[in-house]
Amino acid sequence: MEFIETILGTLDGKEVKAYNLKSAGGAELTCMEYGCIITKINLPDRYGNTENIVLGFDTLEEYLNHSPYFGCVVGRSAGRIKNAAFEIEGVTYKLSKNDGENNLHGGPNGFHQVIWDSAVEKTDSEVKIIFSYLSPNGEEGFPGNLDVSVIYAFNDQNELLITYKAVSDQKTIVNLTNHSYFNLSGNLKRTILEHELTLPSDRFLELDDALLPTGRMIPVEGTVFDFQKGRRISEGIESGDPQTIMVGGGFDHPFLLNQKRPICLFDHESGRKLEIETEEPAVVFYSGNMLPDDFSIRGVQSQKHLGLCLETQKPPGMMDALFLEKNQVYLSKTKYRFALV
């Protein structure tokens, strides 16, 4: 394994470091301290062409001006919190509203906007980038001083293991995930509509018109939400299902993971495959329905369905699952395996 450390830019008087990691297996990952953002993952296709498979930018300024959560860690709580408020032991905590009346991905100044501290650990076959941040009591309205670490461990087998760890000095809520947008075509040559997705899930959470889970768990069988045996993403978007129309023409839904198989994303033309294994009980599949078209991404015009997210997490909207007790350790791991078929 090789890695190079650089200074990507300066924000609020503080330098922002970036790390470029290269594996013996032919893959390359770049990440930075701002938002723990994964800015690039280069991977060969079946013809030997090495290309980028995530949406991202080359400059810090572009992330500040345009990025819809590209590649970052979101928190304290991923997803939407209804009415931007929750209650603990009779006390109501009011959060920032940044999605209508709701709180989205921890608020406008959530973890995706933070400059994290970082350190590096290296062996012959693996490099770990260890990001850390102390979120103060009351930040974005959340209670408790939350000590957070996020570790990106990238190895010579082209595997990325993300480990999230957090401890609070008060009872609070925590639900962390990575918000990378994947496009396995390489360098954004095509949209993700013809990608094939396999989800080991027999139920998804219904959404209301504010894109909040209603609490209903809907069986996927016989619907366009059935990805258990793999299907093209375009099939669901073309279906006209009311739930896909509601979210802008596609998917933005939590799927409950109840089978011991990996999530699998495959692009037939390039031969690239992504497998995801997680300890989390759910994944939010977002097919990029609301990506704006008023900026470019490394020379490619942004558009709907240019990338997709597979956000492993606790089921959003199920607040009881999000509570973290005082001094309890929050620990979550998700592995991404990049391969060719």
Structure letter (DSSP) for residue 244: H
Catalytic, 112? Answer no
> Measured between alpha carbons, how far is 242 from 255 in angstroms, rounded to an integer?
17
Contacts of residue 12, Cβ cutoff 8 Å, sequence gap at least 6: 115
Q: How many CB atoms lie within 10 A of CB 109?
A: 12
How many whole angstroms separate alpha carbon 46 and alpha carbon 50? 9
List the catalytic residue out of 105, 112, 179, 253: 179
CB atoms within 10 A of CB 166: 23
Catalytic residue among 139, 140, 280, 311: 311
Measured distance CA(9)–CA(269) in Å, rounded: 36
Rounded to a whole number of angstroms, the CA Rg of the chain reads 19
87 is known as an active-site residue: no
Containing H/E element for 219?
strand 213-219
At 311, which helix (H) or strand (E)?
strand 309-313
Q: How far apart are CA 310 and CA 126, in angstroms?
A: 24
Residue of 264, 273, 254, 272 whose CA lies nearest to 312: 254
Q: Which residues of 235-263 are buried (b: 16+ CB within 10 A; e: fewer)?
A: ebbeeeeebbebbbbbbbbbbbbeeeebb
The catalytic residue positions are 179, 311
